[in-house]
Amino acid sequence: MISGYLSNHFTGIASKRLSAVEIDPTTSNQHEFDGVTILKRIFGTEKQRFKAVFICLQDDEDCFATADGFVTWYDARKRDPQRSEFRLYYPNNDVMELAKKDDLLIIGKRPDDTLMVLVAQAGSTYERQLIWLFGIEDELIKFDVKQIENKNDIELNLAAKFILEELGIEYSMYDERWLGQIIDRFGENFPGTSVFSAFARSTLKGVSVWDDPDSAVMAWLDHEEMLFRTLEKHIVEKDLQKGWKSVDEFISYSLGIQNRRKSRAGWALEHHLNQVFRDYGLAYDTGKETENRSKPDFLFPGVGCYHNPNFPSDLLSMLGVKTSCKDRWRQVLAEAIRIDTKNLFTIQPGISENQTDEMKANKLQLLIPKQIRDTYTRRQQEWLMSLLDFVELVKSREKEANKKGLI
């Protein structure tokens, strides 16, 4: 089963910018959202109480908060049909206490009739991601409501899946038709990451780095994710039958699953980029020390040239690789001191303009696959570099070094 559409996870959403009266206890204690009449399109006209999970999303990870609760939908003037006044009540909780005026509020109705109440910090990466995922207009004074169907539905690409996981939504991405072939090759064990990435590339036909390296890497990642989740599902289901002796043992097992997923995804991205650079015949080293124990993920045309004081620094290139940046992009700034402008490849969608402006100020060039560029603003897209752009830049520098007899 592959849950390939947004409608598998949300049936409708309502979005708006929060006003002071909705969240500021010094202004009001009403604990109700304003302008809710339009919500009848997804909630109907009968009084209902929905189970809800509240999530606060801020770029400062220390401010991340979740809370279980409920939301009540009702007509405060039900007895007066001429003066209906619908309201949406929420109880006080840690998430709403962190909310601020102009933060983006999204109330998402799930297929099981529970709600997800998301509060994304204004100007944050999370806000940018949710605006793209749900196709939301930036300026929202009153609630905008849409059913997740037809033109409002989207097929889940890697960027969408990335965002859903950030929200704690487990999406099904497996295909048991591949299970026999995987077990025949590797048995009922998780193989090494480089071997599994090579297997993913070999089993995905019709992909060529020469046509479009950006598309190739994204297709390989997507295919490998499906293969991995297929094997993982098989192994974990067998473990579930065995059970655990204690809660601590179960929690440890669960954390192991999450850590394996994150680690494998990072290694997979590096392995597939390795294949692109090999196919294009680029000279480079991986994980070699430059100075102060720093080890860039990729160093072009190699560590020998880097440590040669006669090799021009403007013909050197480096590339850091991170599936998601968050604040960790700053780690790349300390790598390969001889290289003035650092490069970082990521598949994280919709990084905020505040973050990318800070990257530019620190001479860090962001590489984003073309397939997720539309999660960024137009101003950001003018600055972003694609994988193909980077390959061509490195090739031109290598050609110049060859002309000078340096390599």
29: Cβ–Cβ under 8 A, 6 or more apart, which residues? none
* Closest C-alpha among 331, 378, 335, 371 to residue 353: 378
Structure tokens at 14: 């309502």
Q: Are 158 and 52 in contact (CB under 8 A)?
A: no
| Beta-ladder partners of 89 | 32, 72
Backbone phi, then psi, for 45, in 5-degree steps?
Answer: -120, 0
Length of the chain: 407
Structure tokens at 352: 């905020």
Pick left, alpha or beta for residue 221 (phi over 0 → left; psi -120 to 50 → alpha; otherwise beta).
Answer: alpha
367: Cβ–Cβ under 8 A, 6 or more apart, which residues? 319, 343, 344, 345, 346, 384, 385, 386, 387, 389, 390
Q: What is the CB-side half-sphere exposure of residue 382 using CA atoms within 13 A?
A: 4
Catalytic residues: 306
Q: In this structure, are strands 317-321 and 342-345 parallel, antiparallel, or unpaired?
A: parallel
Cis check: omega of the bond before 296, within 30 degrees of 0: no
